[in-house]
Amino acid sequence: NRQIVLAERPVGAPAPKNFRVAEAKIPVAGEGEMLLRTVYLSLDPYMRGRMSDAKSYADPVQIGDAMVGGTVSVVMKSNLKGFSEGDWVVNMGGWQDYSVSNGEMVFNLGKEPAMPSWGLGILGMPGFTAYAGLLEIGEPKEGETIAVAAASGPVGATVGQIGKIKGCRVVGIAGGEEKCKHAVENLGFDVCLDRNSPTFAQDLKDACPDGIDVYFENVGGAVFDAVMPLLNANARIPLCGLISQYNATSLPEGPDRMGMLMGTLLVKKIRMQGFIIFDSFPNLYPKFVADMQKWISEGKMKYREQMVDGLENAPEAFIGLLEGKNFGKLVVKIGE
Ligand code: NDP
């Protein structure tokens, strides 16, 4: 059982030396358990948090343990009702070839699912994050302007496309021309701006003549600085992620702008609400799956994956994710 384990905790940006390839015995499925062979491993920004032992909503990965991660796997042996040999499942198998599960938080995709890896993206955790955060917290109304960064990634791309379905003007923000072109031409965003452009803040202002009603926050940092003055009265901010801060080791330099932020929230009566997808919307998942499957079948939802081959390449791909090197949902194919 090949594994990628956490070798040491990163300080700042993760580096290859923080990971180690290890060989463990193939685990045995006991009573009420099943043995799963991993086919696809999802790489997601939250994994940076699990590498750190700072207090968070979930426990950190221990040094020497396999990294955690969502996976699509095939059932090899099942001592569990509802799962049989050959079923494909979405589970939390981690960065390894085999895992054992008691069936909790496992979704059975059946014997021959059409696009099994989509269960890690648009039809899984990131898709649900976009759906729930935008609709439940963002509450977009027809004609309003939505802004979202990391626009070509699985969360941002889905937020923008749902925004279009709801009749909104959608302004994307992404790193580089190619990603922006994709957001407009393939995903149907009204406009997409390069966050690396020296004129980014002005570009965003020009692209939002009626201000911003919903800012779906994925990144924080300089993008939020450009968004803040454009927020309209009664704007909503689903606070989903702050990827620009995940590798930070200290607070940024400069004057303390907390008072300015709080003042803006106050006078504009803005609602900013954080959420953690695993527990914030306990009853919404079935509705998400039904709506998303319908939108996909109607051709209203486009989805881009970046597939990396081989478990040994997961660390490098993950390090790149935190630098914006991925283009689309990052998935590692680790088995057949
Ligand atoms: P993506 O696949 O979109 O990858 C992350 C992207 O973030 C990069 O490709 C890059 O896009 C962008 N990025 C990286 N560094 C910076 C930076 N310094 N400033 C601005 N943008 C940056 O990720 P996901 O779609 O999986 O996740 C998007 C966000 O949603 C993350 O913050 C993640 O943590 C959060 N999330 C939160 C959940 C929750 O429960 N609250 C659940 C799932 C995700 P580009 O090059 O285009 O700028």
* Residue 260 belongs to domain with CATH number: 3.40.50.720
pLDDT above 90 (res 294): yes
Mean pLDDT in residue range 139-156: 98
Give residue 68's region: left, alpha or beta (phi > 0; psi -120 to 50).
Answer: beta
Protein residue with its CA nearest to atom 45 in ligand 1: 175
For residue 287, is it within any domain? no
Best of 158, 219, 239, 275 to mutate for ligand 1, by most ligand atoms within 8 A of CB? 219
- CA–centroid distance, 218 to ligand 1, in Å, is 6
For residue 228, is it within any domain? yes
- CA–centroid distance, 221 to ligand 1, in Å, is 12
For residue 260, is it within any domain? yes
| Spatial CA neighbour of 212 closest among 128, 154, 275, 270 | 270
Helical axes 125-132 vs 285-297, angle rounded to 10°: 100
For residue 291, is it within any domain? no
Give the residues across from 41 on adjacent strands: 71, 332
For residue 292, is it within any domain? no
pLDDT above 90 (res 309): yes
- CA–centroid distance, 105 to ligand 1, in Å, is 24
Best of 218, 304, 318 to mutate for ligand 1, by most ligand atoms within 8 A of CB? 218
CATH of the domain at 30: 3.90.180.10
Predicted-complex ipTM score = 0.99
- CA–centroid distance, 159 to ligand 1, in Å, is 12
Are 96 and 157 in a shared domain? no
Q: Which domain holds residue 24?
A: 2-120+304-333
pLDDT above 90 (res 252): no
Are 264 and 163 in a shared domain? yes
pLDDT above 90 (res 67): yes
Q: Which atom of ligand 1 is nearest to the CA of 330?
A: 2
Give residue 58's region: left, alpha or beta (phi > 0; psi -120 to 50).
Answer: beta
What is the DSSP code string of 273-322? EE--HHHH-TT-HHHHHHHHHHHHHTT-----EEEEE-GGGHHHHHHHHT
Give residue 12's region: left, alpha or beta (phi > 0; psi -120 to 50).
Answer: left
- The span from the CA of 188 to the CA of 302, in Å, is 9
- CA–centroid distance, 129 to ligand 1, in Å, is 12
pLDDT above 90 (res 178): yes
- The span from the CA of 231 to the CA of 138, in Å, is 13
Tokens of 98: 């085999």
Confidence of residue 240 (pLDDT cuts 50, 70, 90): very high
- CA–centroid distance, 162 to ligand 1, in Å, is 17
Strand 88-91 with 191-194, pairing: unpaired
pLDDT above 90 (res 278): no
Confidence of residue 336 (pLDDT cuts 50, 70, 90): confident
Tokens of 248: 């930070």
Tokens of 163: 């925004």
Report residues whose beta carbon is within 6 angstroms of any ligand 1 atom. 44-46, 126, 129, 149-150, 152-156, 174-175, 179, 195, 218-219, 221, 223, 240-241, 243-244, 275-277, 321, 324, 326, 330
Question: pLDDT digit string (tens) for 181-231?
Answer: 999 999 999 999 999 999 999 999 999 999 999 999 999 999 999 999 999
Q: How many C-beta neighbours within 10 Å does residue 79 have?
A: 13
Protein residue with its CA nearest to atom 8 in ligand 1: 324
Are 65 and 148 in a shared domain? no
Best of 44, 155, 159 to mutate for ligand 1, by most ligand atoms within 8 A of CB? 155
Residue 282 identity:
P
Are 30 and 51 in a shared domain? yes
- CA–centroid distance, 291 to ligand 1, in Å, is 23
| Spatial CA neighbour of 133 closest among 163, 169, 92, 91 | 163
Give me the pLDDT at residue 246, please: 95
Mean pLDDT in residue range 152-176: 98
- CA–centroid distance, 231 to ligand 1, in Å, is 21
Give me the pLDDT at residue 326, please: 97
DSSP state of 193: E
Confidence of residue 140 (pLDDT cuts 50, 70, 90): very high
Mean predicted lDDT score pLDDT of the chain:
97
Instruction: Give the chain's largest Cα–Cα span.
Output: 62
Strand 34-42 with 329-333, pairing: antiparallel
Question: pLDDT digit string (tens) for 37-60?
Answer: 999 999 999 999 999 999 888 999
pLDDT above 90 (res 253): no
Give me the pLDDT at residue 94, please: 98
Are 162 and 61 in a shared domain? no
Question: pLDDT digit string (tens) for 72-118?
Answer: 999 999 999 999 999 999 999 999 999 999 999 999 999 999 999 99
- The span from the CA of 40 to the CA of 27, in Å, is 18
Which DSSP helix (H) or strand (E) runs through 260?
A: helix 258-267
CA dihedral 36, 40, 45, 49 (to 10 degrees): 20
H-type helices in 64-153, by residue range? 125-132
Question: pLDDT digit string (tens) for 222-234?
Answer: 999 999 999 999 9
For residue 299, is it within any domain? no
Give me the pLDDT at residue 153, please: 98
Q: Considering its fold, how many domains does the chain have in total?
A: 2
Cα–Cα distances in Å, from 146 out to 19, 142, 156, 220, 232?
38, 10, 11, 16, 11
- CA–centroid distance, 219 to ligand 1, in Å, is 6
pLDDT above 90 (res 148): yes
Q: Each residue of 218-251: b (16+ CB within 10 Å) or e?
A: bbbeebbebbbebbbeebbbbbbbbbbebbeeee
Give me the pLDDT at residue 17, please: 98
Give the residues across from 272 on adjacent strands: 237
Are 138 and 273 in a shared domain? yes
